[in-house]
Amino acid sequence: MVNKPGADKKLRTRVIFVAVAAIDVRYSGPMNRIFDEETKLSKWLEVEAALAWAHGQVGTIPREAAAEIAKKSNTGVVKLERVKEIEAQIDHDLMAVVKALAEKCSHSAGGYIHFGATSYDIEDTATALIFRDALKLYADRLAALRKALLRQAAAHKKTVCIGRTHGQHAVPMTYGLKFAVWACEIGRHLERLEEAKKRIFVGKMTGAVGTMATFGPDAFKIEDLVMKKLGLKPAAATTQVIQRDRHAEIICLLALAASSCEKIAKEIRNLQRTEIMELAEPFGKKQVGSSTMPHKRNPHKSERICSLARNVRADLMVALENVALEHERDLTNSASERVMFPDAFILTDYILSQMEFIIANLEFFPENIRRNLEMSRGLVMAERLMVLLTRKGMSRQDAHEMLRELSRKAFSSGRHLKDELVADKRALKYLSPAELKDAFNEETYIGKSVEIVDRVLKAMC
């Protein structure tokens, strides 16, 4: 903020805007434009134009006035700078837009702007228009990420690796199955979005407490005309505002997608651990991992996703708090939504774009995948042996107990489980040496992993 004395010897204020939020610089992208001040002004003007047009259609204002208002309701005519000047004087952002538009309308047309409406008739309806644009980009991001996951699923549907539960080696699976599971999850986010659109893309023209009193006998027709003009549907009943459960649902959609990306990113981070190192996120030739340890290859992109997902989930808590407004409304939702909406959308957009880049450019280390698969010296095949012995006639419980005992013994001695089985001899009453050897082939104990991946690819591609 810089103060300079003007010609009239009064202090005049000139505002210098400097980006201070990370979403404006470090994590910015195409979503920023959808939520900037210029776009918001454009959407508010679009709604004001639709309202004037609807009034003109039913005859509550002259059609020539409606045409003039519609002609001037754009940011090419109504400048953001002028709106801010007026707002600084009157301390009301929507009325600043009305006044700035009225200044540009010829004859008496300016006197009909905003006729019958309350601020949130314009603002909530315009917010739905912004959401429509933002959710289109969100859907595109989800689709791109799902496509990248499906490509990896197809490429690695036969890449056998060790599956892990509770942080421990479980049984063999394939990397293709891992990616297919994630692709299905991202697909569900797309499904949720489609299902939610009927609750999200709604507007209102209902006045101060939702009675439509200011719009007179043609109130329903005016509202219907406005919404058809804008491509929205009218909310069936409102107070002064559209109820905030709808907005909380939107932020919940974003928080769910961000959380799914965090889950994927966390798995990549774990699989990139030095002791595991089966795959790694992309790392540029000139990229620096640590300012002091030159050898480091830190998974900072995945870590960043995990970090930012926390912010998006925090925005959901704000959205849920905004549901409980007092009476027909209070203003406690307003300030937080100015922060929450752009924050949640911009960060989720960034998370999805980063996740797509990581998935598309993952580096795999086949030797380490094989090493980890064989690391347990056959212990991960105990389940297979239990099932095989049961099919050969041994009691399932007896087979389980025998393999539990021998697995503990193999773990303690460092010997291969097969060697313990041969020495114990009980299993050899049911299995031939060849059958016992084949039972320890990890490549042949992946069940329907390949077919599951094929089923997912067929359904989604």
| Chain CA centroid to CA 347, Å | 8
| pLDDT tens figures, 258-289 | 999 999 999 999 999 999 999 999 987 888 88
439: pLDDT confidence band, cut at 50, 70 and 90? very high
CB contact set of 191 (below 8 Å; sequence gap of 6+):
none
Q: Does the reported pTM lie above 0.95?
A: no
CB 251 within 8 A of CB 316: yes
Question: 3-class SS at 434?
Answer: helix
6: pLDDT confidence band, cut at 50, 70 and 90? very low
Query: Catalytic residue numbers?
Result: 166, 290
Q: For residue 276, give the amino acid letter.
A: I
- Phi/psi class of residue 216: alpha, beta or left (left: φ > 0; alpha: ψ in -120 to 50)? left
pLDDT at 25: 87
Give the separation between CA 359 and CA 361, rounded to whole angstroms.
5
7: pLDDT confidence band, cut at 50, 70 and 90? very low
Kindly state the percentage of the chain with pLDDT values over 70. Answer: 96
| Chain CA centroid to CA 91, Å | 34
Residue 16 has pLDDT above 70, yes or no: no
CB 297 within 8 A of CB 280: yes
* Average pLDDT taken over every residue of the chain: 94
pLDDT at 14: 54
pLDDT at 3: 46
User: Which ranges of 91-214 would DSSP assign to H, the alpha helix?
Assistant: 93-104, 119-155, 175-200
Closest CA to 68 of 30, 21, 24, 101: 101
1: pLDDT confidence band, cut at 50, 70 and 90? very low
Q: For residue 255, give the amino acid letter.
A: A
pLDDT at 291: 80
